[in-house]
């Protein structure tokens, strides 16, 4: 149950953060390496948030 909640929260946070930072398919098409770097940073940030919210609390 917690695993599913964590995955859903990760997906939501990742999409929200990507949208707010302008990381989209157009960027992916024009500068793939920049897109990958930004998405890795977004996923790491989202993971930290999920861990603090669901796991460590």
Cα torsion through 4, 40, 46, 20, rounded to 10: -120
Q: Residues 6-28: what's their mean pLDDT?
A: 98
Helix (H) or strand (E) holding 54: none
Q: Which residue has the tokens 């149950």?
A: 1
Question: Pick the residue with more confidence: 54 or 14?
Answer: 14
For 30-55, the pLDDT digits (tens) are 999 999 999 999 999 999 999 999 88
| Residue in this structure with the two tokens 């460590």, named with its chain if needed | 56
Q: Note the pLDDT of residue 57.
A: 79
22: left (phi over 0), alpha (psi -120 to 50) or beta: left
| Domain locations along the chain | 18-51
The model's pTM is: 0.90
């Amino acid at each position: 149950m917690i695993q599913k909640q964590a995955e859903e929260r990760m997906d939501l946070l990742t999409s929200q953060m990507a949208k707010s930072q302008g990381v989209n398919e157009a960027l992916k098409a024009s500068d793939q390496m920049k897109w990958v770097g930004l998405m890795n940073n977004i996923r790491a940030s989202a993971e930290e948030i999920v861990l603090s919210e669901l796991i460590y609390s």
